[in-house]
Structure 1
Amino acid sequence: MGTMLALCRAAAALLTTAALALSPSAAASPGHRDPGWRGAWAASPQAPTDRYAPNWSQRGFDDHTLRQVVRVTAGGDRVRIELSNRYGTAPLRIAGATLARAARGGAVVPGSSRHLRFGGEESVTVPAGGTLHSDAVRFPVTPFESLTVTLRPAGPTGPATFHQLAAATTYRATGDHRADESGAAFGETGRSWYYLSGVEVSGGPDAGRRDGVVALGDSLTDGAGSTPDADNRYPDELAELLAGAGRPRAVLNHGIGGNQLLSDTSWAGEKGLTRFRKDVLTEPGVRTVVVLEGINDIGAGKDVSAERLIDGYRTLIGEARARGLRVVGATLLPVGGSRYGTPANEAVRDAVNHWIRTSGAYDAVADFDRAVADPADPDRILPAYDSGDGLHPNDAGYRAMAAAVDPDLL
């Protein structure tokens, strides 16, 4: 795997030379006219909340510049970003945005920054409740390359649409620093993403491929318990393992910490049944979805039955197949020793997992439960895989989950 990543980085370095020769204004047609887009990175939008940890979502931004670093899992020769104001109560005005190759911390690779345009203009307004894409920019990227997106909101934004559990560092500066190559001005940091909900690519050696994977889930997909800024969430690990096996494809993370399959919450997003239509079915270039939802429904104290969860899974399966997607069902991880670890909850989890394994309702099954369970006590996560709360894996646990997904399942 290390050799593969080294080759990817070497290829990125070679492509940088070509990219720097292109004019910042050398953009292709807006994406809605181009059917060749593929998702390369994603994050599900959420309503403002500080339930898990302090962040900037409720106050929003005023005379700030945001710098956000993301790692793509697909390459191409053109890039566009997606901005979301899904939960905004007023139009979001963006004075400008740039795309660059990430360097250390809040810095970017010198000479790599490109101004993004929206309908040919540097500034744009995203309507309340709306989502839009930038114009395409010629910017060759390779899989596993880290990109920096810098946004300059115009004026007070009010509460911000965001993604709370980024497991990555976001940088904030006062004033307009969108074109800075140094990270010196970005003295404030957080662990959430704001407004940025997608990076898409087109062209390149993989043009025309439609084999991407979406991981739909809760904090176990979002990466709670993984090392920040290390890209060790299970979807990240899955993308690396697939590439290392000679089966490369984009893997897009649509997990939200605390999310439930059947119920909306103010702090953990709309229910999975709703998000599936908004987040999964709108992703371009996708062939397969992996569903890992339900443990928060079981643990929320609402006496959710296995039958209700199974009805929800059947709904997702039907909607996916209607759009030509394969659906992989993931078994629910052990919760013994965690706040969810009660006999009643365990009975529901066992019943759900039995159905996932034996019903034949899914196209395939990823048995995450058995991948991380302690053989001596299968209702608990193996201590070597436990982040410390009995509920969320650590980096090694997420790697074991990824390894449970046979490439042939996809």
Structure 2
Amino acid sequence: MDSAKSEQDRTVHGAWIASWTAAQQLCEPQNLPPEPFLEGDRCFRNTTIRQTLRVTSTSGQIRVRISNAYGLTPLPITSVTVAVPLPDPRSHLIAGSCSIQTATLKTVKFNDLDTVVIPNGAQAVSDPIEMSIEAGQVLSVSIHMLHGQAGIHVTSHPGSRTDSWLARGERTRTPSLSASGIDGVPVTHWYFLSAIEAWQNSNHGVLALLGDSITDGRNSTDNGNNRWPDLLFDRLSGNPKLSGRFSVANLSLGGNRVMTDGNGANAWTRLERDVISLRNLKCVIICEGVNDIGTADPEEADEVGMRLIQSYQQMITCLHTYDILAIGATLPPFDAEDPTEQVYAQPARVTAARKVNEWIRNSNSFDAIFDVASVLSEPTHSDRIRSEFDCGDHLHPNQRGFQALADFFPIEVLYKCA
């Protein structure tokens, strides 16, 4: 009874809130681990995976979530540790480092056990870990699997833009996976790790982003943590009214679409499964739709645009059911003078995207608008991205474009839920 009352008291005064997230999808064949970590129809046999991530809140306790959402077989975890990384001996960066400060090592347990077997489609949540973290800090999580996972249906976030390290053997407490005799192998993907939760007071909120490759950070700097949501978090941290009030949960997937599965489940599905399930969720920025129109048959682009608008309306209704603020991002420009340089750049698709953006801006359906198109587009050609923001494919922003998105996001809309 005393234990139950203690947990009840904790719940009244605080909650486990996402401090870092990674949207999960089925790992594509080209993003599966390299040999020898892929052996026929088994992955990660007797392998340690060391992964780094950047938290967005300050706390004295954390929990780790490990996902087998897309696995078809159980995921047997042998041991897990969390630590503060040291600068990588190659890059001298903290993010993507293969090295840890061993004095900071914490053993991660699951119901007082070192091991856990996660059924297919499920995820495991660790016991609370006494560990002080600061907003903006990078952590290192090491996962060892003695037997690996049967099959090649691996749950992952391929577009990590952050190095992870693979090494044979139980290396969760090893200072560096690039040390002599270990031969650690870097890969630019996250595997299985879906969230770090932090214990926060009850008025701490979460700002979630549901997006595609632009929000996932394509063309950001590997190990730079400079995706535009990272830069937005930095901006919030420097705002006296918002600093320390929100964690930022980026739940974006490259190639993701609102209405059709592909790279991960469609965003309409992911909204309820991955986003609304977040504790203390205050606001969601919906940054998807360009891939629905860009992959549509040009003759059907207008119809797809109309369906996309209806999908937005359904998603808004869903968010409002839970009293969550819905912010709509306009579709980015993707037209090109030479259509061979951007496969989406067909007149019918451009027109359909323009109609969707007019609806987002003028329908008053969203609680607020983030006009991505206006931030990124050429002043004299609103359907094309500015040359100074163009990574070269006429769709994805470069680092200057990411900074512009972070700088022009209307953070004042967050005051009402801070």
Same fold (TM over 0.5): yes
TM-score (norm 2): 0.86
Map of 2:372 onto structure 1: 368
**Alpha-carbon contact 2:47-2:148 (below 8 Å) kept:** no
Answer yes or no: is 1:74 the counterpart of 2:62. no
Map of 1:257 onto structure 2: 254
Q: 1:83 aligns with which of 52, 66, 84?
A: 66
Amino acid at match of 1:385: F
Map of 1:291 onto structure 2: 286
Map of 1:271 onto structure 2: 266
TM-score (norm 1): 0.88
How far off its partner does 1:59 sit? 5.2
Amino acid at match of 1:156: G
**Alpha-carbon contact 1:260-1:294 (below 8 Å) kept:** yes
Map of 1:192 onto structure 2: 189
Answer yes or no: is 1:239 the counterpart of 2:233. yes
Q: Whole-Å Cα distance in 2 between the matches of residues 69 and 386 of structure 1?
A: 29
Q: How many residues align?
A: 375
SS at match of 1:232: coil
Map of 1:381 onto structure 2: 385
**Alpha-carbon contact 1:225-1:394 (below 8 Å) kept:** yes
Percentage identity across paired residues of the two chains:
30
How far off its partner does 1:119 sit? 0.3
Q: Whole-Å Cα distance in 2 between the matches of residues 75 and 339 of structure 1?
A: 43
CA deviations 1:247-274 (Å, max 9, x no partner) are 1221111100000100112xx0111110
Runs of 5+ unmatched residues, structure 1: 1-28
Consecutive aligned runs of 4 or more in structure 1 exceeding 3 Å deviation: 53-59
Answer yes or no: is 1:393 the counterpart of 2:390. no
Matches within 5 A, 1:162-177: 162-177=156-171
CA deviations 1:37-76 (Å, max 9, x no partner) are 111100111012136x564588521111000000011111
Amino acid at match of 1:124: V
Q: Whole-Å Cα distance in 2 between the matches of residues 175 and 227 of structure 1?
A: 30
Matches within 5 A, 1:129-148: 129-148=121-140
Do the aligned partners of residues 55 and 258 (structure 1) sit closer, same or farther apart at CA in structure 2, a change above 3 Å counting? farther
Q: Whole-Å Cα distance in 2 between the matches of residues 271 and 174 of structure 1?
A: 35
Q: 1:406 aligns with which of 407, 410, 418?
A: 410
Q: Whole-Å Cα distance in 1 between the matches of residues 271 and 256 of structure 2?
A: 12
How far off its partner does 1:130 sit? 0.3
Q: Whole-Å Cα distance in 2 between the matches of residues 383 and 54 of structure 1?
A: 35
**CA RMSD, aligned part only?**
1.8
Q: 2:209 aligns with which of 215, 218, 242?
A: 215
Q: 1:227 aligns with which of 213, 221, 226?
A: 221
Runs of 5+ unmatched residues, structure 2: 1-5, 88-96, 337-341
Structure 1, 337-346 or 286-295: larger mean CA deviation? 337-346
Q: Whole-Å Cα distance in 1 between the matches of residues 347 and 330 of structure 2?
A: 18
Amino acid at match of 2:390: D
Do the aligned partners of residues 30 and 219 (structure 1) sit closer, same or farther apart at CA in structure 2, a change above 3 Å counting? farther
CA deviations 1:160-212 (Å, max 9, x no partner) are 21111111111100111000122323621111110000001014xxx223421
How far off its partner does 1:285 sit? 2.5
Map of 1:317 onto structure 2: 316
**Alpha-carbon contact 1:30-1:134 (below 8 Å) kept:** no
Answer yes or no: is 1:92 the counterpart of 2:75. yes
Map of 1:328 onto structure 2: 327
Q: Whole-Å Cα distance in 2 between the matches of residues 157 and 96 of structure 1?
A: 14
SS at match of 1:352: helix
How far off its partner does 1:85 sit? 0.3
